[in-house]
Amino acid sequence: TAADGRSWLGEARAALALDRAAQAEQALRRATALAPADPEPWRLWLELLRVEDRTLDAQRIGWSAYAAVPPSARREVLRALTLALLADVPEEHARMRLARWAEADPDDLDARVALLRRIAAAPRGGDPEAADRIAILTTLLRCDPSHSGAREALVSELAAAGEIDRGRAVLDAWPEATRDARYDRLRGRWDLDYDHHPDRAVVTFRRALAALPHDGRTHAALARALQALDRPDEARHAAEEVARLRETLDPAALGRRLEADFTHLEDPRSRLDLADLCARAGLARLAAAWRRDAEEPPRVGTASHR
């Protein structure tokens, strides 16, 4: 019932106040199952996924939310989904929250993996060294071989450390039932850079981009694979995608644009601008949803101009 859903939402908030993110996510899963029309647990869940940089999960949860809430609440879901897919949480804030979550619950694999990935991307003094991160991720993956995030992070660390054969073994052991765009990105990397099969890399990179069209690094890798196959027109197109994404998703410009649009979200021009932003990022489904919202008649009691 809706009352039970609100009760689980309260449990989730209490868990987050104690930095128990995994417990909060379990409560949010129950809340959305019992009261799917309530946008608040969906929004809170998407924010949690954003902190942990779980893009594929955010897509899945976001579109489930969009289908479940009433039309009057869809805009709130679209806002949360747009943030989860396009706007990084500031580094200091993300590190602080992830460190608290991991310390409060050492069994929270999602938080621990997300923190290790941030450390690997921008290491600081006092952070675990690469060898230590590899050891930690190996242990985490042994605890839960189905955890795709831990496997992806470990394979990436092994590649960076030059342990190509070991990385390939971990990649090959990825359970087939859980292989997704994360697997495809890494498989394409091995196909292109280590096994010298650019033809196979093109297939896997394109499969990854079907799920994550705003992934500039994979577009860049695709351009290299196409160039290796002497397909210059396609390679140039992929390189142009990289440049377009770099311009569209430049953090400073993106932050200003999102802030301006979200501040005036009742104005259909702001929602059309969000549609344009998402389209330029390759997120066609999200762009279409914003465009539909912008083209709807104004809601009763809301302003339609700045």
- Structure token pair of residue 193: 């850079």
* 157-175 average pLDDT score: 98
Q: What is the pLDDT of residue 152?
A: 99
Contacts of residue 98, Cβ cutoff 8 Å, sequence gap at least 6: 51, 52, 111, 114, 115, 118
Q: What is the pLDDT of residue 304?
A: 38
* pTM recorded for the entire structure: 0.93
Where is average pLDDT lowest: 65-74, 184-193, 293-302? 293-302
pLDDT tens per residue across span 55-103? 999 999 999 999 999 999 999 999 999 999 999 999 999 999 999 999 9
Q: What is the pLDDT of residue 45?
A: 99
Q: What is the pLDDT of residue 173?
A: 98
* 224-234 average pLDDT score: 98
* 99-114 average pLDDT score: 98
* 154-176 average pLDDT score: 98
| DSSP per-residue string spanning 17-85 | HTT-HHHHHHHHHHHHHH-TT-HHHHHHHHHHHHHTT-HHHHHHHHHHHHHHS-GGGHHHHHHHHHHHH
Q: What is the pLDDT of residue 204?
A: 99
Q: What is the pLDDT of residue 298?
A: 72
The dihedral formed by the CA atoms of 19, 133, 94 and 257, expressed in degrees to the nearest 10: -150
Tell me the domains of the chain and their CATH numbers: 2-86 (1.25.40), 106-174 (no CATH), 180-249 (1.25.40.10), 262-295 (no CATH)
User: What is the 3-class SS of 224-287, one letter each residue?
Assistant: HHHHHCCCHHHHHHHHHHHHHHHHHCCHHHHHHHHHHHHHCCCCHHHHHHHHHHHHHCCCHHHH
- State the average pLDDT for the chain: 96
CB 226 within 8 A of CB 241: no
- 158 band by pLDDT with thresholds 50, 70 and 90: very high
Question: CB count, 10 Å around CB of 120?
Answer: 18
In angstroms, rounded to a whole number, what is the distance separating the alpha carbons of residues 153 and 112?
A: 11
Pick the more confident residue, 301 or 187: 187
Q: Is 26 exposed, middle or buried (0-12, 13-18, 19+ CB in 10 A)?
A: middle
pLDDT tens per residue across span 134-152? 999 999 999 999 999 999 9
Question: CB count, 10 Å around CB of 52?
Answer: 26
Kindly tell me if the per-residue pLDDT of 305 is higher than 50: no
Q: What is the pLDDT of residue 300?
A: 55
pLDDT tens per residue across span 34-51? 999 999 999 999 999 999
Q: What is the pLDDT of residue 3?
A: 80
Q: What is the pLDDT of residue 299?
A: 62
* 293-304 average pLDDT score: 68
Percentage of the chain modeled with pLDDT above 90 = 95
